[in-house]
Chains A and B, each alone.
Chain A
Amino acid sequence: MGNVQNTPHRADVGVVDSSVQHAAHAHAAPTGFIRKYIFSLDHKVIGLQYYFLALASVFTGLILSVLMRIHLVWPEWAIPGIGIIKDEQYLGLLTLHGTFMVFFVLTTAPQSGFGNYFLPIQIGAADMAFPVLNMLSFWTTFAAFIVMLGAFFTVMPIAGWTSYPTLSALPNAGSLPWGQDLWLLSIALFCAASLMGALNFITTTLDLRCKGMSLWRMPLTCWTWFVTAILGLLAFGVLLSGGLLLLLDRNAGTSFFVPGGLVVNGVQQRHEGGSPLLWQHLFWFFGHPEVYIAILPGMGVASQLLSTFSRKPIFGYRAMVFAVMAIGLLGFMVWGHHMFMSGMSPYTAFAFSLMTMAIGVPSAIKTFNWLGTMWRGKIRFYTPMLFAIGFVSLFVSGGLSGPFLAQPTLDIPLHDTFFVVAHFHLIMGVAAIFGIFAATYYWFPKMFGRMMSESLGRLHFWFTFVGTYAIFMPMHYEGMAGRPRRYGSMVVAGGLFNRLAALMPLEKFISIAAFVTAAAQLIFVINLFWSMKKGEKAPVNPWEATTLEWTIPSPPPHDNFAGNTPVVNHGPYEYSVPGVERDYVMQTDPASVHAH
């Protein structure tokens, strides 16, 4: 194989011994099972490893949420193997649900999973820039997952996925040893893994693009993976610090986050001088970019699919790229909007609120451009397109509750109520999951060489789309009525405090909708595994798309382009070009096909 890989930068650096360097990329296909499937250096295998890790996590998270919904409306039900869910277990369930979903699904699948698999192929590279680092990154994530399962099976942490001290710092306040410690350890590992992944993504995007693949010719998926990686690079380091300090507070007797003079359950605490707000600053400095880490790749996938299946160039490609960059930049300036009610200086709320409202502008640009892409198109309704349209719908619905919460004034009644739960589930939870589903249906033929079942896919879409709205729309009403988050039970003290009891019928409706929607996910699992074995054989380019992954066999060979580096002559979304016979122009088509 030699040094025939694409290392376009080599020629102009003019240094000694460059062949040694990119020998790293030119690794031959390994033969043993372990080197091929377990400790693989191949970005495609690593991408699939991430994907299946996320799949395991998403079903863990889903089961946890079903248990939560059962506890909320039928607390007396005994679950086989678990028994009756207790109130503190409810808090454990919501903590781990949030953690699995945010970290191990929404961060892992769209970015590390699909990004790993398709970023190098879409920019015409044979692999990521640092294959060994890529492997280490996955196995560190896996270790974090195992440690988190450890937290699950020892003492479930109950401090929520945000783990605010002092609750999370003081064991006798409820964050018992092992559970909370393992949670923090797992998050620290996850941060380290994400940092490795992020710098790999950025370097790959900057350095390994093939000839002709200028930044302005990259598919929007690559742009979003790139910007997401920058966000991850800057955000996870801060959470890592915060997590380490909280671990020290719990185990080494320091008090970064715990002030003096506290008495917990009648026991005086030995801490002195810390501040609980410090954690909130560190956490949300990470936490807000994190929600964009979850949603940006979904935006990229939606853009890619809407263009492909509308048979139209994306509306406003550069506007889309600038919008993604603006979202990424503003995402670092808005963390305080999670803290309007926290006791932080009320003056800062002005700035944070203004910045947050400003994020609405690039988000609106994206929505406008998605609709603009469909406008006067020639839409083909394959399952991936259905999920992409669902993504846009959910993004709009979830996004429009943002301007309520971004205003400190309105945050007074709405903060920490179900309105917030509805908001972030629609926009960052389910919208991002729709992005993952869309990507799965779209790229499955490339990844596994077989088509997924269209009829099962459609069934899955309708159940999930309608079910999602049935679950999360009513939560807005509950939030407005003042139903706080993280309440395991609506009525307490023998029915004395029964303000929330009036919401019970709505709660029951939500629970039933959740059970149906959760059950419908089995359709997806069946479709996924059945199609891997029995699906119709996929052609090279089943969707008649233009980007580089559709120029190589399905599934792609070990080194993607078999040593033949592609040369790119066109932008990524050249559909229905007038005067061209076929309604799409591949990025690799000769330049003479169409000059624009």
Chain B
Amino acid sequence: MKWIFLDGIPIYQQIVQIMQIRIANGEYPLGSRLPAVRDLAMEAGVNPNTMQRALSELERSGIVHSERTSGRFVTEDEESMRQLRFMLGKESIDAMFTSLGHLGLSKEEIVQAVTARANELDE
């Protein structure tokens, strides 16, 4: 996940999302230590205070926690990780419902189609 920022959305919110994706996809593994604020800010090319704000936001949501002296760590809790993945996946699911809805499929038909497709992919 690269650091690309869109116009018109606060930068710290975009950093939160990029960090969530990086944590969900294992780029920052469970229980691992995150790089220092300034290093992350450098990498992303953003203001250190903005990075700090984004990390505090992640802390509030429980995905990372800070140890007084040793830095910030990704949660070790599998359950909050699972919730994070579902939360991030929701957007793609919504987009799928919208675009398939435009094709005239009902919610039930979409669910059936997804299940059928999942079975096909398993084979």
> Do A and B come from the same complex?
no
